[in-house]
């Protein structure tokens, strides 16, 4: 899934997936009357680290909104150049 992505793009995708799963669990927890915020469960003892993770996930989401699948798009550009040169 991430084999054609650079490190930044792969990290962005992973952070967006983590954020989506966490929000899904928060919503499900609301219906079940439980706190299922996994990020808080793992990092709640370190609130500053937890907030940094939330900020990184938010930035990854913004990068995903303003890009088409890969924020860098350099992998696609390299493939296009190789096809054009041949």
Cα–Cα distance for residue pair 3/45, rounded to 1 Å: 34
Report the half-sphere exposure of 13 (CA within 13 A, side-chain side): 15
The pLDDT, as a whole number, for residue 48 is 96
Q: Which residues contact 44 (CB under 8 A, 6 or more apart)?
A: 50
pLDDT averaged over 10-residue windows placed end to end, the chain, 86 residues: 73 91 95 94 94 94 78 57 58
Separation between Cα atoms, residue 4 and residue 33, nearest integer Å? 41
Helix (H, G, I), strand (E, B) or coil at 38: helix
């Amino acid at each position: 899934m991430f084999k054609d992505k650079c490190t930044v793009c792969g990290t962005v995708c992973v952070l967006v997936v983590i954020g989506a799963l966490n929000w899904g669990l928060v919503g499900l927890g609301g219906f079940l009357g439980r706190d299922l915020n996994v990020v808080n469960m793992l990092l709640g003892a370190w609130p500053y680290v937890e907030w940094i993770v939330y900020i990184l996930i938010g930035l990854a989401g913004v990068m995903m909104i303003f890009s088409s699948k890969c924020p860098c798009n350099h992998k696609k550009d390299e493939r296009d150049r190789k096809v054009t040169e041949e």
